[in-house]
Each structure stands twice: as structure tokens, then as C-alpha cells.
Structure 1
Amino acid sequence: MWPDRRLIDLLKLEAPIVQAPMAGAHDQALAIAVAKGGGLGSLPCAMISADKAREQVQVFRQQVSAPVNLNYFCHTPVEADAASEARWKKRLGAYYTEHGVDPAAPINAANRAPFDEAMCALVEELKPEVVSFHFGLPAPALLKRVKAAGAVVLASATIVREAVWLEQNGADVIIAQGADGGGHRGMFLTDDIATQPGTMSLLPQVVDAVKLPVIAAGGIADGRGIAAAFALGASGVQIGTAYLRTPESTLGAPNRAALKAASDETTVITNVMTGRPARGVINRVMREVGPVSPDAPAFPHAATALGPLKAAAEKGGKTDFTNLWAGQAVHLGGELPATELTRKLAKDGLARMAAF
């Protein structure tokens, strides 16, 4: 019944719905629930160890017989710069004073690890059906090993030029990530935030430029968005924000409350939280320091100095320093269990298409 079955057939899914990997917002429980609903469950691996990733995959395999997607970052690591870190801490100094946090106390460094030899070996061991990459692709030798392990490779593009590059360099499926989507922008051939196109502008141009199946990502949260994406040539959709308030999400009560109260005017692209452009619900530090600040250290080091402030504010039930990534369709999210939501999304999308 789907007008384009390429993604369904390639990934052996019931419905062409990919649950977006959202580091820090969920674990295997959400991936399992989505898989039970017929979609592709995803596990974000950029902020966890190989042992933790192995454990999550094992739990997934025990509870559901379905493909799983392991997601990784492919950024080039940048060493922390002492001078930049000191300037950033000074910029945040008033917040440290307000919360009674000692700026001289040791801080755990922010962890956003790129795909490396250890994680590649894990992929070879676990043999996930799908591996997805953000910020480009890994080194050719690593990518060759991932594909040799049997994984279908998905990768994000934020402009047409990136989509073409991904096709030429080994991706099997392109994720067209519009500027209205939540989370880190997958930019890797550009750093110009101002020229990033929205999903419904980017999608048909990517479809025209590549021969691979294209997944639409950004601002899609219900059947109407799914039908629109397929009308513009998508083979599937990636949905993240709509799953954030499901019972399977690991977000706490203050974060869920902030999402429930959000509207189309509530999110912004910022570099303040991590040092790299990402869309999230506006919080105090984004509003007062950013949303884009030249003082923010390079990714992921901006998050280091925010760590103690985040912990202090969250003790009081506040999200002033919490990075709550979400897209512009955040208001469309609900609280259904993820399995039920996945089935509803597929059913509503098909119904909308049938009405065309």
C-alpha cells in the first residue's frame, strides 16, 4: 500500500518509519517499542561505551525479532582548548555564583565520541542490520568493514551537495534532514546555519539529485507529514520529537513538561549547549547567552562547563541548562506508548495518501 517500498524492502520493515536516535533521551526500551510497532528502532551510540551498546543490543535481540539501527557521529575530534574553556567559564560565571557552584572544581569532560576502531569492531561483532551516521561518513576503511558486516548504511544530509557526496562515498540511504528537525544538524560540507533549507524544500531536491532511497527527517510528527513526505518523493520518514513524551522515553518530568508546553515558536538552532548547531527547546542559557555565541568552545566542549550548572538546576526541577533537543513540530507530540504511536503514524499516513 505504500507508494514507494524501497526502504521497506531494503530494511525488511512493516512500515517505512525510522525512530530517530536521540542521545540522552532514550535507551533500548524505545527502540524495542518502535520495532514492535513495525518501524526501525534506533540506538544512539555516540555517548555510550561499547559495553553499554552491546548490552542494549542484546536486550533488543532478546525482546524483539526485528532490524536494529546503531547510530554514530563522524565528526573530527577537536582537543579542548584551555583558553577557550576559560573564556566560556567566565561567560557563565554569574550562573556559577547564582547556583553556588565552584568554577574551580574538577568537571567531567563532555563525551561525544566519533565512530572509531572499537565501535567498528563492535559492529562486526553484533552485526546490526542498519548503521547510521551523522556529520558525514567514517574513514573509507571503517565504512568498508561496516558494509562487509552486512549493515545497510544510512547517513544524514542537510543540503543537496551533502546528499550527492554521501551517495558517491558509500551510503545506501540518504536522510534528508531539514532545518526544522530537532537535534544536531548533520552538516559536514557547510557551516552556514542561515542557509539550511527546511525539510519540504530540501526533500524533493535531494530526491532529484540522487538515485538512492531518501528518508525525510524534520518536522514530521503525524500522518499529514508522512503523506507530504511521500508526495515529495521520500521512501520513508525519520521521526524523533513525536516519541519524546512516550512512556519509553527516559526524559524526566521537567523535560516532559517543557515539551508539553512547547509551541511552533519554542525551538531554536543554537551552538551554546555543545558548540555545534542543534535545534532544541529554548532554555534560559540559550536565551541569555545565545542562541548562537562566538564564546562557545568547539564541539563537544561547550557542554563541559554547562554540566555542573545543568545538575544544579535540575535538582530544583528547572531546565535552564538542559539541552532538550526537539523539532519545530514539537507541539504535535503526544503521550501514546511508542508501539501504538508507530502503528498510528503508519495508519494515518496511509489514510492521508489514500485521500489524495
Structure 2
Amino acid sequence: MSTMTNRAEAFCTRFGLRLPILLAPMAGACPPPLSAAVMTAGGLGACGALLLKPDELLAWAGKARSSGTAFQINLWIPDPAPVRDRAHEARVRGFLAAWGPPVPAEAGDAVPEDFQAQCAALLAAAPAVASSIMGLYPPDFVAQLKDRGIAWFATVSTVAEARAAEAAGADVVVVQGAEAGGHRGCFDAAKAEQQAVGLFALLPAVVDAVRVPVVATGGIADGRGVAAALALGASAVQIGTGFLRCPEAGIHPAWADALARTAPEDTVVSRVFSGRAGRSILTDYVEAATAADAPAPAPYPVQRGLTAGMRAAGQKEGDLHRMQVWAGQSAALAAAEPAGAVARRIWEEARALLA
């Protein structure tokens, strides 16, 4: 027990935490109250800033900082510009029209927020941690982070990515197993399904391959998962789906209720919401959109734009089968309790098991 708990305690001391529990930076599902609750309990708060404009990012940081300074802001490393196929997009629009409002042709023109502007806003926000997903920050930005004393946590999904992140200057690697809900953090989008490695195979391999601390994420939602991750060499864990049923998360009740009855096999990895591989509940839409006779999803972020109308309608009407309901494979372990209580209980459970 001493080696494992000492490693976790050293991580907490380094990053100003009392619990080795990190909130996963989930885009669209990390409101400041959720981070505030996790930070107050002693863990690391998080903002998945993919969808935020610079002023929104700064506003989020201002609200979160009122409860503490231990939070991360996560940015998505931009993908290459998608190769557009207008004829195929028309087929996708026709398919989606059966699930929501008619999809205008220009819906596929949606583009991500300006990455350089987001980077500038992140530096201005000065979080304790800047985390990355889908790739590595460019060297000049890494240098600016280090000049400001902002730690860089790089999300990786393979051993090769972990080695590359360490070589690029990452202070910590966050090892994301294939069990994780939402988007997979693969550097090469085309290989997301091919390289879908489970956390407890990937974690010890990465621990053996790098010298920086390792955070485990993907399918962890209770003390058993935390204890197992620490036993395999992690210094801390990151939890996403396990916090989604907490009242501070503020997700739609239909989504929160569905998580409680979602078995591991009730989730699936597909590209039907955004064009990037992501794990969600197997809803009627996902089942239909992944069927052999359905048109293949458009590339990211075209598909995200094309499905926006359907997802908005599903959210408004509380229709789970038209909503984007991300879920990790341990979704049913998520508790409908205050986030601070969840974080503390999970760590207490883990400590008891490690003892």
C-alpha cells in the first residue's frame, strides 16, 4: 500500500490537491459548479473548452476560480481540414431528416473555434493545468506554458503517443482507455477503432514506457477502479461519466437516468454524431446510423454540423434517441449524489481496498 499511496500523495502535493481524483474535461458537460464541487472536495476541476469562444473560456475560468485554483483547461488539437464530398453529405442530410428537422446544406460548413485564439485565452486564464487531446501542443505554446508555470497534461491512447508526449515536454500523461465515454483521444483519427486498447492493458505498458507521472482514465467510476489503477502504476485517476449524474453536472434528466441503466455492452463507439470516434449509449439513432444500409458519417467536424439540428431537437424534447448521450462503459456505477461526496467516497473506498 505504501508505494501506491505515496505515489498518489506525491502527485497531490505537486499539483495542490488533497485527492488524486481529476474531473475529466468533458466539452459541454463541465459547468463551473461541477468543477467547484470537485475542487472543494480536494480534486482537480476541469473545463473541456473545445466549443468555447475565448471570452467564454475566460468567463468559465473566472467562475471556477471563485472556488479554487486547481483546475485544468483542455483544448482539442486541430484536425486537418476535412475532405468534403457534397453528394455524400446530401445523402447524410437525407438520412438525418428522418430524425430531426431538415438539414440545410450549409450545416456541414461548421468549423471549430479558432485554436490560436483559444490558446491565447488559456494563457490569460492561467489555469494550474493545460491539458490536450487529439495530439500535442506545438513547441512554442509548450514553451509559453512552462514560462508561466502552467503544467501540461497530455491525453494519450497508445504507448507510442505517450512516448511522443513525454518527448514533447508533457509534465503528465493521461492514459485514456477504450472504455472511456465521449471522443477517443487518438492522435490519428483514422486509427481510433483499430487502436482501441483497454485501460488495464494500456496503463502498465505506458507506466513502463515513460518517466513522468501517469493519470488513468476510462471506465473508472468507483473505488475499485481507482485502487486497480494505482496498483498498475497510476499516480491519479480522471473520471468523467462517473460524475455526470451529479446534480452539479446539469445534464438532461433523460441522459442522467439512462446512464443508471446502461450496461457496458449497451455502449458503442461510432462516428455518427461528430465524424470522430466516440463512445455513447446505443440509442435507436446510433443503431440506425451504424446499420449497413445507412450512409457513412461525414468527416469531423462536418458530421457534427449536420447532426446539430437533430441533437438540439432531442435535447429540447427530452428524446434520448436523438440526443448525443456519451457514456463510458462503467456508466451504471455513476451515482446521483453531490459531486464532492462522490469524489470523497471514491477515494475512501480506494484507500480501504489498498489497505
Q: Which moved more, 1:162-171 or 1:253-262?
A: 253-262
Secondary structure (helix, strand or coil) at the match of 1:238 reads: strand
Give 1:312 deviation, angstroms. 2.8
Distance in structure 2 (CA, Å) of the matches to 1:7 and 1:45: 24
Runs of 4+, deviation exceeding 6 Å = 291-294
Q: Kindly report which structure 2 residues correspond to 1:192-271, keeping only aligned pairs within 5 A, or say none.
A: 192=191, 193-271=193-271
1:312 partnered with 2:316 = no
Q: Which moved more, 1:146-155 or 1:205-214?
A: 146-155
Distance in structure 1 (CA, Å) of the matches to 2:291 and 2:233: 33
Secondary structure (helix, strand or coil) at the match of 1:42 reads: strand
Alignment-mate amino acid for residue 88 of structure 1: E
Corresponding residue for residue 15 of structure 2: 11
| Structure 2: gaps (5+ residues) | none
Corresponding residue for residue 296 of structure 1: 297
Corresponding residue for residue 154 of structure 2: 155
Distance in structure 1 (CA, Å) of the matches to 2:105 and 2:136: 37
Distance in structure 2 (CA, Å) of the matches to 1:180 and 1:79: 27
Corresponding residue for residue 31 of structure 2: 27
Corresponding residue for residue 141 of structure 2: 142
Shift in CA distance, 279/350, structure 1 to aligned 2, threshold 3 Å:
same
Shift in CA distance, 245/104, structure 1 to aligned 2, threshold 3 Å:
same
Q: Kindly report which structure 2 residues correspond to 1:55-70, keeping only aligned pairs within 5 A, or say none.
A: 55-62=59-66, 64-70=67-73
Give 1:189 deviation, angstroms. 4.6
Is the contact between residue 123 and residue 149 of structure 1 (CA under 8 Å) also seen in structure 2?
Answer: no
What is the percentage of aligned positions where both structures have the same residue? Answer: 33
Distance in structure 2 (CA, Å) of the matches to 1:208 and 1:326: 29
Corresponding residue for residue 338 of structure 1: 339
Give 1:110 deviation, angstroms. 4.3
| Structure 1: gaps (5+ residues) | none
Alignment-mate amino acid for residue 352 of structure 1: L
Distance in structure 1 (CA, Å) of the matches to 2:291 and 2:144: 39
Distance in structure 2 (CA, Å) of the matches to 1:98 and 1:187: 29
Alignment-mate amino acid for residue 124 of structure 1: L
Secondary structure (helix, strand or coil) at the match of 1:269 reads: strand
Give 1:6 deviation, angstroms. 3.4
Alignment-mate amino acid for residue 60 of structure 1: A
Alignment-mate amino acid for residue 123 of structure 1: L
Corresponding residue for residue 282 of structure 1: 282
1:155-190, Cα deviation, whole Å (9 max, x unpaired): 111110110010001111001110111111111157
Shift in CA distance, 344/147, structure 1 to aligned 2, threshold 3 Å:
same
Alignment-mate amino acid for residue 310 of structure 1: R
Distance in structure 1 (CA, Å) of the matches to 2:259 and 2:34: 17
Aligned pair count reads: 349
Is the contact between residue 221 and residue 330 of structure 2 (CA under 8 Å) also seen in structure 1?
Answer: yes
Give 1:136 deviation, angstroms. 1.6
1:262-290, Cα deviation, whole Å (9 max, x unpaired): 11111111111111111111122221121
Distance in structure 1 (CA, Å) of the matches to 2:176 and 2:291: 20
Secondary structure (helix, strand or coil) at the match of 1:43 reads: strand
Give 1:315 deviation, angstroms. 3.7
Is the contact between residue 137 and residue 166 of structure 1 (CA under 8 Å) also seen in structure 2?
Answer: yes
Distance in structure 2 (CA, Å) of the matches to 1:308 and 1:184: 20
1:323 partnered with 2:327 = no
Q: Which moved more, 1:41-50 or 1:87-96?
A: 87-96
Is the contact between residue 155 and residue 166 of structure 1 (CA under 8 Å) also seen in structure 2?
Answer: yes
Distance in structure 2 (CA, Å) of the matches to 1:50 and 1:195: 33
Distance in structure 1 (CA, Å) of the matches to 2:47 and 2:195: 30
Shift in CA distance, 151/107, structure 1 to aligned 2, threshold 3 Å:
same
Is the contact between residue 123 and residue 146 of structure 1 (CA under 8 Å) also seen in structure 2?
Answer: no
1:186-220, Cα deviation, whole Å (9 max, x unpaired): 11157331332100000000000000000011111
Corresponding residue for residue 128 of structure 2: 129
Alignment-mate amino acid for residue 184 of structure 1: H
Give 1:149 deviation, angstroms. 1.7
Shift in CA distance, 75/310, structure 1 to aligned 2, threshold 3 Å:
same
> Alignment partner for residue 71 of structure 1, among 68, 74, 86?
74
1:8-64, Cα deviation, whole Å (9 max, x unpaired): 1221110111100111123111111100011000011110111111111111122x2
Shift in CA distance, 141/98, structure 1 to aligned 2, threshold 3 Å:
closer
Give 1:143 deviation, angstroms. 1.8
Is the contact between residue 310 and residue 322 of structure 1 (CA under 8 Å) also seen in structure 2?
Answer: yes
Is the contact between residue 92 and residue 297 of structure 2 (CA under 8 Å) also seen in structure 1?
Answer: no
Give 1:144 deviation, angstroms. 1.2
Distance in structure 2 (CA, Å) of the matches to 1:164 and 1:291: 37
